[in-house]
Amino acid sequence: MQKSIERIAGDTDGISYEFPVYRIEGRVPGTPSVYMQAAIHGGELPGVVAIHALMPKLRAAEAEGRIRGDLTIVPAANPIGRSQYLYGDHFGRFHLGTRVNFNREFPLLDRPDAALIPSDERLATADRRLKARLLRLALEHEIVLDLHCDDEGVPYFYVPAALWPAMADCAAAFGAEAVLTWQNAADGAFEEAAIHPYLALDAEALARRAVTTVELRGIADVERGYAERDAEGLYRLLVARGVIEDRTVAPAGPFGGVVAPLDNVEMVKTPKAGAALYDVKPGDRVKEGDRLATIVHAPGEPDGAVEVFAPQSGYIITRRATRTLRAGEDLLKLVGDRPSTMVKKSGSLEE
């Protein structure tokens, strides 16, 4: 395993950022190669600790000659977001200088040519330089795993529709509980940028690729047990795709979790500002009309609370970690049995 350091110039004199990159060279030419990163949103740490738990397994496999395909691993991909604090609170989702989400506006290339990625000298801000650098690292790999987490949620995948159901083996091997498929996104999330140059490939060539955003439960689920479980899931995924040889790992079998297009996701919102009292948790199934939560907006008043009901039957995949919410703010994600009737914005579900 080799380690190198990537450095990103900051936006003011004397400031720069750096992050480590680990590489393992595979021994079997033609085996799919892997790029894996965590914490592009600087405060999302479940993926960071999962990679930390995975690394001893990779080192052991390397020492035993069982690594077939090349691996490139970035355990903490966003030193800029990791460094952003304001009055003691961490802000790692948006770049404070540009106010752009760190997982938006990656370059969308028409073909897999690294020469099309803008150089540092052509990019005005550190966050854009970081995005170009990460895409350059990931571009030529067939398997791209971008590890995130939600507020509170089950482990689930976002998968380009062009790669489903060919990626069902990955979801089953990892142990994902749900898969959300998407197509025609336009906001340049890392996952979209990683697959966009290859969408012109034929179906057989696309089936070799695996590109996904892996949501590892909730932002507070940074625990040893979860880290070990997720490391095992990532390891099984790599074995399933032939990147690592390990005859002790049994095939996962068919994927049995929830699968739905993004069009079926109801982003249930709060009708009033107040305190959220949830009746459901991630992983629950609900029927249309079931109460999901009560919002206490005028405490002490006879009519000081309003109930929120399920707009359709489905599966609760996430809910907000904070209990203090503004009017119109996202309360939870419900994966419905039919397309949502809400007005959709283009691109990703959330900012």
Tens digits of per-residue pLDDT, 68-110? 999 999 999 999 999 999 999 999 999 999 999 999 999 999 9
Per-residue pLDDT tens over the stretch 40-53? 999 999 999 999 99
Does residue 345 have a pLDDT over 80? no
Which residue has tokens 């069982």? Answer: 66
Does residue 169 have a pLDDT over 60? yes
Cα–Cα dist 264/259, whole Å: 10
Give the per-residue pLDDT at 341.
Answer: 81
How many structural domains does the chain have? 2
Residue 316 lies in a domain: yes
Beta strands at 143-150 and 210-218: parallel, antiparallel or unpaired: parallel
Cα–Cα dist 81/39, whole Å: 9
173 and 311: one domain?
no
Q: Domain end: 240, 256, 272, which one?
A: 256
What is the DSSP secondary-structure string of 156-173? EEEEEGGGTTTTHHHHHH
Residue 202 lies in a domain: yes
Cα–Cα dist 10/7, whole Å: 9
User: Which two structure tokens, joined as six digits, stand for 323?
Assistant: 């209990």
Give the per-residue pLDDT at 186.
Answer: 78
Does residue 343 have a pLDDT over 70? no
Does residue 346 have a pLDDT over 70? no
Half-sphere CA count of 188, side-chain side, radius 13 A? 14
37 and 137: one domain?
yes
Mean pLDDT, rounded, for 313-328 = 97
Identify any residues that bridge with 339 across adjacent strands, giving them in sequence order.
none
**CATH number of the domain bearing residue 318:** 2.40.50.100
Give the per-residue pLDDT at 185.
Answer: 79
Work out the pLDDT band at 349, boundaries 50, 70, 90: confident
282 and 298: one domain?
yes
Cα–Cα dist 214/155, whole Å: 7
196 and 324: one domain?
no
Per-residue pLDDT tens over the stretch 215-230? 999 999 999 999 999 9
Cα–Cα dist 282/174, whole Å: 18
**CATH number of the domain bearing residue 213:** 3.40.630.10
Residue 350 lies in a domain: no
Residue 345 lies in a domain: no
Residue 123 lies in a domain: yes
250 and 269: one domain?
no
251 and 267: one domain?
no
Give the per-residue pLDDT at 207.
Answer: 87
Measured CA to CA in angstroms, residue 253 lies from 109, 240, 299 at distances of 35, 10, 51
Which candidate, 290, 276, 292, 281, places its Cα nearest to that of 327? Answer: 276
Give the per-residue pLDDT at 344.
Answer: 62
Q: Which residues span the domain enclosing 127?
A: 2-256
Sign of the C-alpha dihedral, residues 338, 339, 343, 347? positive
Which candidate, 37, 20, 282, 244, places its Cα nearest to that of 135? Answer: 37
207 and 151: one domain?
yes
- Exposure string of 280-316, with b = 16+ CB inside 10 Å and e = fewer, is bebebebeeebebbbbbbeeeeeeebeebebbbebbb
Cα–Cα dist 100/73, whole Å: 25
Residue 346 lies in a domain: no
Per-residue pLDDT tens over the stretch 131-168? 999 999 999 999 999 999 999 999 999 999 999 999 99
123 and 187: one domain?
yes
Q: What is the mean pLDDT of the chain?
A: 96
143 and 268: one domain?
no
Measured CA to CA in angstroms, residue 12 lies from 15, 16, 82, 102 at distances of 6, 9, 17, 19
Residue 344 lies in a domain: no
Environment class of 326 (CB within 10 Å of its CB; exposed 0-12, middle 13-18, buried 19+): exposed
173 and 205: one domain?
yes
Mean pLDDT, rounded, for 202-206 = 88
Mean pLDDT, rounded, for 34-38 = 98
Q: Domain end: 208, 228, 256, which one?
A: 256
Q: Domain end: 206, 226, 256, which one?
A: 256
Measured CA to CA in angstroms, residue 272 lies from 50, 279, 298 at distances of 37, 17, 10
Give the per-residue pLDDT at 270.
Answer: 97
Find out whether 340 and 265 touch, Cβ atoms under 8 Å.
yes
195 and 295: one domain?
no
pLDDT exceeding 70 applies to what percent of the chain? 99
Residue 348 lies in a domain: no
**54-57 LR contacts (CB < 8 Å, sep 24+):** 54/231, 54/234, 54/235, 55/22, 57/231, 57/235
Cα–Cα dist 170/342, whole Å: 31
Find out whether 126 and 6 touch, Cβ atoms under 8 Å.
no
Beta strands at 34-38 and 71-74: parallel, antiparallel or unpaired: parallel
209 and 287: one domain?
no
Per-residue pLDDT tens over the stretch 235-272? 999 999 999 999 999 999 999 999 999 999 999 999 99
Find out whether 231 and 46 touch, Cβ atoms under 8 Å.
no
pLDDT exceeding 90 applies to what percent of the chain? 94
Does residue 332 have a pLDDT over 90? yes
Cα–Cα dist 40/44, whole Å: 8
Mean pLDDT, rounded, for 319-323 = 96
